[in-house]
């Protein structure tokens, strides 16, 4: 089996590197293509045995599974290039949610699936999202789940849930980091005797340990809040202040991502 990846931007390179280093794919099973020679060279030098194709069409001709790791607006041009080589024997995988499976199924005879990765797969952790089109076989499902579970905890979900789930898994690292940075910056301003490095480390260690505590004990988010936030205590006062300011915030965040994605989708022509 040959697995091809078109697009060696941040996420395409991340996926190839993580899957090969985790042993999900042997280097000799992997083909890559990018219009940028330097990006091709960077991957093949870092992962000896991975081959660079001569173009998108060459890659599609030689690969059984094909990951499209390009921006949504570039997909039509890529499909034009590979269309003469795509058949019903191909499994075509996209890694963004702007394109729908129906859009791709109308454009190509391939079996179509969607994998939404996250930057945290760089360290073999976090959640990934999988959605399968109507033509996908049980073998396709097993293959992608097996690949992704080497670098993540995969969740097979309906396509209509992907936007919200992506806010948790794919956008989530940035959203959480934004919150953590705001907390660290404010703490540093309140206590300048603390170094910037120490404050950032305290936030990271606390976040990491809180997640580990929940994993080991089965505590929920509410359990942690209850155990730390005793009535009338300092933490309770902080939670009360947060509740006032955060009321409705995440509704606005999720609405903003959904509206942005819908606008981009309306502008796509495949």
With a threshold of 0.85, does the pTM exceed it? Answer: yes
- The architecture (CATH level 2) of 172-257 comes to Orthogonal Bundle (1.10)
114 Cβ contact partners less than 8 Å away, ≥ 6 residues apart? 93, 94, 95, 97, 101, 129, 130, 131, 132, 133, 159, 162
pLDDT at 211 over 90: yes
Q: Looking at residues 197-205, what average pLDDT do you find?
A: 98
- Provide mean pLDDT across the span 136-153: 98
Domain limits, CATH 3.40.50.720, in the chain: 3-159
Segment 217-221 shows an average pLDDT of: 98
Percent of the residues in the chain that have a pLDDT greater than 90, as a whole number: 98
Give the pLDDT score at 268: 87
CATH of domain 3-159: 3.40.50.720
pLDDT at 105: 96
More confident residue, 149 or 268: 149
pLDDT(269) > 80: no
89-104 pLDDT, tens digit each: 999 999 999 999 999 9
Q: State the pLDDT at residue 270.
A: 78
Quick one: which of 138, 98, 137 has its CA closest to 114?
98
Closest CA to 133 of 98, 107, 158: 158
Q: Please write the tens of the pLDDT for every residue from 66-92.
A: 999 999 999 999 999 999 999 999 999
Region(s) of the chain under CATH 1.10.3730: 172-257
Mean pLDDT for the stretch of residues 240-254: 95
Find out whether 137 and 111 touch, Cβ atoms under 8 Å.
yes
């Amino acid at each position: 089996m040959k697995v091809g990846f078109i697009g060696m931007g941040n996420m395409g390179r991340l996926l190839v590197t993580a899957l090969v280093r985790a042993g999900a794919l042997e280097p000799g099973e992997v083909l890559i293509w990018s219009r940028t020679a330097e990006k091709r060279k960077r991957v093949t030098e870092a992962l000896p045995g991975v081959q660079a194709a001569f173009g998108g069409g060459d890659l599609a001709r030689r690969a059984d599974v094909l990951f499209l790791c390009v921006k949504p607006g570039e997909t039509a041009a890529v499909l034009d290039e590979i269309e003469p080589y795509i058949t019903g024997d191909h499994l075509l995988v996209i890694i963004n949610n702007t394109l729908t499976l129906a859009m791709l199924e109308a454009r190509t005879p391939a079996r179509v699936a969607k994998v939404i990765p996250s930057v945290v797969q760089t360290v073999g952790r976090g959640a990934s999202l999988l959605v399968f089109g109507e033509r996908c076989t049980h073998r396709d499902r097993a293959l992608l789940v097996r690949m992704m579970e080497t670098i993540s905890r995969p969740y097979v979900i309906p396509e209509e849930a992907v936007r919200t789930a992506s806010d948790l898994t794919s956008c989530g690292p940035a959203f959480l980091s934004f919150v953590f940075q705001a907390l660290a910056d404010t703490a540093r301003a309140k206590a300048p005797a603390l170094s910037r490095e120490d404050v950032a480390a305290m936030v990271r260690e606390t976040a990491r340990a809180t997640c580990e505590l929940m994993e080991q004990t089965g505590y929920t988010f509410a359990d942690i809040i209850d155990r730390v936030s005793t009535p009338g205590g300092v933490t309770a006062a902080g939670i009360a202040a947060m509740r006032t300011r955060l009321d409705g915030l995440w509704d606005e965040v999720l609405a903003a991502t959904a509206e942005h994605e819908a606008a981009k989708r309306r502008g796509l022509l495949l």
